[in-house]
Chain A
């Protein structure tokens, strides 16, 4: 099925541990995005990649790094997880100036204890 695949779906980390959230798309979209969703805060942009080889900070980039490995894959890394990073993380893709909106993955639910 065409779409955006995120792994893992669930993760529990201890404070200070590191991990990488993976995102892969088979829609041939140029742009990819990482969002976090917290209750009452909506979707906040962490990082995005307008095209392969480029990445830019979004609204809340602190504590995260990203890698646009190729056109299909865009990963989000937490180097030293903190409880404030407990959230649901969504990857999204877009193309054509995004006038058709973004396609979202089903999310990764991360808990940092």
Chain B
């Protein structure tokens, strides 16, 4: 089935640093989504991308829908302690067989004050 390769698997950074993570796939997706999961909670949607090449920001977060439609990137600028959590990418193909959304395995972010 379809798979998303999300990297890096984990990051341990200093407060104030910028963060970059990405997802790649061998398949084309129509929509890319980025979620954040706080410790002990369910994932929450951060950003949704609907067009190839689209660049969208949400505060200090910026995400891009790759031109090839096979990848997406998430950047966090000037990280703060509350950015700690697991970030998931998800790709959507309309009419997929296993539900619609395919999730990456997540990037675990730790921030040192």
Flag if A100 contacts B42 (CB, 8 Å).
no
Q: Write the chain B residue with the least CB distance to A107.
A: B42
Stretch from B12-20, B57-65, B77-85, B86-94 forming part of the interface with A: B86-94
Flag if A40 contacts B105 (CB, 8 Å).
yes
Q: How far, in whole Å, are A106 and B39 apart by their CA atoms in the complex?
A: 10
Q: Which residues of A contact B101 (CB under 8 A)?
A: 94, 98, 101-102
How many A-B pairs have beta carbons closer than 8 Å: the answer is 66
Cβ of A43 under 8 Å from chain B: yes
Distance from A69 Cβ to chain B, minimum over Cβ atoms (Å): 19
Given A98-B92, A99-B31: A104 in contact with B44 (beta carbons within 8 A): yes
Cβ of A33 under 8 Å from chain B: yes
Flag if A45 contacts B45 (CB, 8 Å).
no
Query: Which residues in B have some Cβ–Cβ distance to A below 8 Å?
Result: 1, 6, 9, 30-31, 33, 35, 40-45, 48, 50, 88, 90, 92, 94, 98-101, 103-106
